[in-house]
Every structure is written in structure tokens, then in C-alpha cells.
Amino acid sequence: MESSRPEGKEEAGLRREREALARELAALRAYYEDLLASLQDGVVVVDPDLLVLAFNPAAEELLGRSATFAVGRVLPAVLGPGTLLPALAARALETGRAHAEHGAPLTRPDGGQVWVSAVASLLADAGGKPRGCVLTLRDLTRIRDLEEQLRQADRMAALGALAAGLSHEIRNPLMGVRGAAQLLAGDPALPPAFREHSRIILREVDRLNALVEGILGFARPRPARLLPCNLNQVLEEVLALEEGGLTERGVRVRRLYDPQIPPVQGDAAQLHQVFLNLVRNGAEAMPAGGELTLRTSYERKSPRCRGVSVAVAEVLDQGVGLSAEASAHLFEPFFTTKEKGTGLGLAICQRIVQEHRGVIEVHSDAAKGTCLAVLLPLAGEQA
């Protein structure tokens, strides 16, 4: 037994050396684990048979699988069918060169889709013999979203310029038509049927004019003048204008205000326009009447708005909800499903809210109705 006799000098030296080596190895391993863990990019290491050897936290997050699940399984079994990553790794192992994929869709186990770019590089020993392959993965989802926003902004800018030009050209002749119709409508020498027709012309010209005004306002908005405003007050002012009409149409208004909400940094006139549009849309979604709820609250350091503190105003209706098509095009100018709609309401709302550095969100449910939520940074919160 080793403990029964005293340790020789040489043995003690060897033991100390062994212990020092073990400590060094543990430190080295911890160092490489930290290194992998601190990388923003996902890193997956596989052996020549595609057996997963390492799976860092960024890869766990990106791919929606845990390292405990992944390590020790083959890559195709970890990722499921339909991803290009195993093929990419196999190609790197076969050819001995790095291969890249600049954006491939990947379905996570929760059903969400992410876009990733991937590079597969060969892992070889000192003699050049392949020991496996390293996959580095980068999340492109956010970049794709930004690209889509940019395309949308480009479309809006082009549309805006076109609309502004057209509206201008339309407005002047329209005023001429209006003037002439007004003269005819008031001419006692004309038979009553003529005068009635003139009044129809007048009414329709006014409708066209309102549309043109809307387009002009959208295409060339005046800059927002931001001052502290209270959202409860803004909502009340909108209701003062609208509530009579709503009651007539069988729409009851329910107020769920948080009396404590701090002021937001806003342009009161523009915020009126936002909530007027939302209240009208809510009412129009309930042609048979129903309840329209206006709710306010506030959220400290809201993750829904770049982490700044916001006041939230929601307009909830009990209408039919949004179709898939409406959800996809809701904020696009001229998207409307209404016979007499302009499709400008929500496009204007979104532009104003964005100018306030806020966020507009939509939640819809065919069974319960639709909720439009406007989040606006509190006064003094503008980052």
C-alpha cells in the first residue's frame, strides 16, 4: 500500500509535477471553454463522422438546441431535416477546404425561423490529417429585417414623391370643378334635378379633396414639435370629438386609464391624428357595434422599445380581426379593404409614431378582435 510507506523524494517530485500539469490542463480547458462561450458567433465542432464535439452558448441560442442535447449526437440528428449545415461540414471534410453559405433558413424546434450565414472550416492535425470541422454561424435574421425595412422605406419615399406631385396637379382643377358645381347648385334658374346633381358633384369633390389632403400630408408632413403631453388627455380629446358618433353606431367606449402615467415627449396634434385613426379603425371593424377599449399604462425600460421607458396607449376592438393579407400590408400606404377607405390611416400613424421614436404594435385574434398598441418614450427619455 502506497500510504503504508513514506513517499520517496523522487516520487513526491513526480506527484507534484503531475498535479501541476493537471492544474495547467484544467486552466487551459477552462480558458478554451470561456473563449468559446464568449464568442458572439455560434461555434459547432464535429468529428469526421459529423459527431458533435462542441456546441457553444451562441450556437445554443441561435439553433434553439442545448449543448447537452447536441454533444455526442451526429449533426443531422441534432438539426433535423432540411438544413444545409451537415452538407456544408461534409463538403469541408471531403475537400479539405473551407466552404461558406451566405444565408440559409433554419427552422428551430419551436417552429421559429432564423437566417444564418455559416462557414465550415477543416480542423486538421499537425500532419494535415482531418480531425473534424468547425462551423461558425452568424445570425442574419436582424439584418434581413433591417433590409426589409429599408426596402419598405424606399417604396414609401418613392410613393410619397409621386403622390405629392400628383396631388398637387389634382388639387387645382378640383377646386375649379368645385367652384362651378357650387354655382350650379345655387342657381335658382336651373331645374331642381340639376341642382341635386350639382350637390352630388360637390360632395364627391369634397371627398376627393380630403383624400388629396391626406396624401399631401403623408407625402410632405410638417416636422413634429415635441413637448411633454399626457396620453390620457390626448385620448380624452379624441373621444370628445368622436364619442357621439361612436354611440350612434352602437360602439361603447371603455376607459382603462392609468392615472399615474408620466408625460411622453410628443406633438399633441399629431398624436390626436394617430389615435383618431386608431379609434375610427376600431369602430369600423365593428359594423354591428361592440366595445372599444382604450387602455393606458407605462413600462420602465421597455424591451419593446430599445430599452427606454415608455407610456403605452392601446386601442382594442371586438371586431373580426385581421386577415393574413391585412396583417402583411397593414402599414402600407393605400392598403385598404374598405370600399371607401384611403389606406392612409395606419401608414400615417406609423410614420408619426416612428418620428416620435416610438413603436406601434398590432395583436389580432379572429375570436377577440384587434389591439393596436402605441409605445412612446417618456419626456426626458429620448436616447
- Binding residues for ligand ADP (CB under 6 A): 277, 281-282, 285, 317, 319, 322, 326, 330, 335-338, 341-347, 370
C-alpha 203/C-alpha 196 separation (Å) is 11
Q: Which does 209 bind (CB under 5 to 8 A by kind): Mg ion, ligand ADP, none?
A: none
- Give 199 or 363: the residue with its C-beta nearer to ligand ADP: 363
Across 39-127, the runs of DSSP E, i.e. the strands, are 42-46, 52-55, 99-107, 113-124
Q: How far is the CB of 305 from ligand ADP (least distance, A)?
A: 21
C-alpha 275/C-alpha 294 separation (Å) is 10
Q: How far is the CB of 66 from Mg ion (least distance, A)?
A: 46
Q: Which does 167 bind (CB under 5 to 8 A by kind): ligand ADP, Mg ion, none?
A: none
Q: Which does 336 bind (CB under 5 to 8 A by kind): ligand ADP, Mg ion, none?
A: ligand ADP
C-alpha 262/C-alpha 267 separation (Å) is 15
C-alpha 156/C-alpha 165 separation (Å) is 14
Q: How far is the CB of 254 from ligand ADP (least distance, A)?
A: 15
Size of the site for Mg ion (CB under 5 A): 2
- Give 77 or 208: the residue with its C-beta nearer to Mg ion: 208
Cell of 50: 459529423
- Give 212 or 347: the residue with its C-beta nearer to ligand ADP: 347
Q: How far is the CB of 218 from ligand ADP (least distance, A)?
A: 10
C-alpha 81/C-alpha 69 separation (Å) is 16
- Give 167 or 281: the residue with its C-beta nearer to ligand ADP: 281
- Give 305 or 346: the residue with its C-beta nearer to ligand ADP: 346
Side-chain-facing half-sphere of 163: CA atoms under 13 Å: 21
Cell of 284: 369600423
Q: Which does 337 bind (CB under 5 to 8 A by kind): ligand ADP, Mg ion, none?
A: ligand ADP
C-alpha 54/C-alpha 46 separation (Å) is 7
230 closest CA partner among 204, 208, 257 = 257
Q: Does 370 bind Mg ion (CB under 5 A)?
A: no
- Name the closest residue to ligand ADP (Cβ): 345
Cell of 48: 469526421
Cell of 44: 459547432
Q: How far is the CB of 360 from Mg ion (least distance, A)?
A: 13
Q: How far is the CB of 55 from ligand ADP (least distance, A)?
A: 44
C-alpha 98/C-alpha 49 separation (Å) is 17
Helix 345-355 crosses helix 268-284 at what angle (to 10 degrees)? 150
C-alpha 364/C-alpha 52 separation (Å) is 41
User: What torsion, rounded to 10 degrees, do the Cα atoms 305, 308, 313, 318 define?
Assistant: 30
C-alpha 291/C-alpha 254 separation (Å) is 7
Site residues for Mg ion, window 71-100 (CB under 5 A)?
none
- Give 345 or 377: the residue with its C-beta nearer to Mg ion: 345
Q: Which does 282 bind (CB under 5 to 8 A by kind): ligand ADP, Mg ion, none?
A: ligand ADP
Site residues for Mg ion, window 262-301 (CB under 5 A)?
281
Q: How far is the CB of 265 from ligand ADP (least distance, A)?
A: 25
Site residues for Mg ion, window 315-354 (CB under 5 A)?
345
- Give 63 or 276: the residue with its C-beta nearer to Mg ion: 276
List interacting residues with Mg ion (CB under 5 A): 281, 345
